[in-house]
Amino acid sequence: MPENTRIAYLNEYRDALHKDDLDRQLGLQLAALDLDQADPDGPRLMDEIRGLHQPAAA
């Protein structure tokens, strides 16, 4: 998957988080799973999405 596509997904997911739009978050998570399956050797988009829910390290 092209890097700009990954960045676009992550930006859209951040926006959905900010707006508490759970339906959009779920839709993006499902799309990320599909993209990860289509490119099993690439970086995992779903891992990056999960990382957005982790507290930042000091």
| CB of 36 closer than 8 Å to CB of 46 | yes
* Global pTM value: 0.85
What is the Cα gyration radius of the chain?
Answer: 11
Could you list the pLDDT tens digit for every one of the 58 residues in the chain? 678 888 999 999 999 999 999 999 999 999 999 999 999 999 999 999 999 988 876 6
Find, among 38, 15, 35, the residue nearest to 25 by Cα. 15
List the chain domain ranges.
Answer: 3-51
How many CA atoms, within 13 angstroms, populate the side-chain half-sphere of residue 30? 6
